[in-house]
Chains A and B, each alone.
Chain A
Amino acid sequence: MRAILTILSGVLFGLGVTISGMVNPMKVLNFMDINGQFDPTLLFVMGAGLATTLAGYRLVLRRKTPFFAERFHMPSLTVIDARLVGGAALFGLGWGLSGFCPGPAVASLVFGTSQSVIFVAAMALGMVAARFVARRPA
Chain B
Amino acid sequence: MTLTEFTPLAGAMGGAMIGLSAIVLLAAAGRIAGASFIFAGLFTTELDGNFVWKALFIAGLLFGAFLAGQFWFDAAAITFPSGPAVTALSGLLVGIGVTLGNGCTSGHGICGLARFSKRSLMATLVFMAVAVATVFITRHALGA
Contacts and interface: CB of A to CB of B under 8 A. Distances in A.
A7 B14 CA distance: 17
21 contacts: A9-B21, A12-B17, A46-B15, A47-B15, A48-B12, A61-B26, A68-B28, A85-B126, A87-B123, A95-B94, A95-B127, A97-B82, A99-B81, A100-B90, A108-B65, A119-B90, A122-B95, A126-B99, A127-B43, A127-B98, A130-B100
Contact of A50 (B28, B114, B127): B114
Contacts of A22: 14
A8 B15 contact: no
A117 B79 CA distance: 14
B60 A10 contact: yes
Interface of B: 1-8, 10-33, 35-37, 39-40, 43, 52-53, 56-69, 72-73, 75, 77-82, 84, 86-106, 108-115, 117-119, 122-124, 126-136, 138-140
A97 B93 contact: yes
Contact of B69 (A57, A61, A111): A111
A94 B11 contact: no
A77 B101 CA distance: 11
Interface string A30-57: 1011111101111111111111111011
Nearest to A136: B102
Given A8-B24, A10-B61, A97 B138 contact: yes
B95 A130 contact: yes
A86 B101 contact: yes
Most chain A beta-carbon contacts within 10 A, residue among B4, B17, B43, B108: B17
B32 A89 contact: no
B83 to A, nearest CB: 9
A137 B11 CA distance: 32
A95 to B, nearest CB: 5
Interface string A6-40: 11111111111111111111110110111111011
B135 A33 contact: yes
A110 B65 contact: yes
A18 B8 contact: no
- A22, A23, A45, A134: most-surrounded residue (chain B CB, <10 A): A45
